Amino acid sequence: GEDVEQSLFLSVREGDSSVINCTYTDSSSTYLYWYKQEPGAGLQLLTYIFSNMDMKQDQRLTVLLNKKDKHLSLRIADTQTGDSAIYFCAESIRTGTASKLTFGTGTRLQVTL
């Protein structure tokens, strides 16, 4: 299956950490991605993790991958108001010679003062 699920909404206070979760079903994923979408805009790649890694840290972002449970999370440290957006996880699956992305349902992050 190719279902990728996320919780719909998360609200955090400025300065706190945000954790956005994602579950996927296809164990053949090669890469897993986190994208950010601001209102009326396209997608911005935040970070990605290769499927044989458990963790990746990039400045304020930490990605954790539990391949056994097919669970991916994105932690944003010191969340700022500019982090308010919709966050999509996506898995890359190879089909023959091609690979394509399947996106999660998206999590709207609201950062309050």
Measured from the CB atom, the residue of 76 and 104 that comes closer to another protein is 104
Which one of residues 25, 28, 41, 80 is an interface residue with another protein (CB under 8 A)? 41
Interface with another protein, residue 51, by CB under 8 A = no
Interface with another protein, residue 11, by CB under 8 A = no
Structure tokens at 78: 């010191």
Quickly count: other Cβ atoms within 10 Å of residue 81's Cβ: 10
CA 94 to CA 105: how far, in whole Å? Answer: 21
Which one of residues 16, 27, 45, 110 is an interface residue with another protein (CB under 8 A)? 45
Interface with another protein, residue 34, by CB under 8 A = no
Which one of residues 15, 66, 100, 110 is an interface residue with another protein (CB under 8 A)? 100
Q: What are phi and psi of 37, to 5 degrees?
A: -125, 120
Question: What secondary structure does DSSP assign to 60-94, as a single string?
Answer: TEEEEEETTTTEEEEEESS--GGG-EEEEEEEEEE
Give the binding site for another protein (CB under 8 A).
30-31, 35, 40-45, 48, 88, 92, 98-106
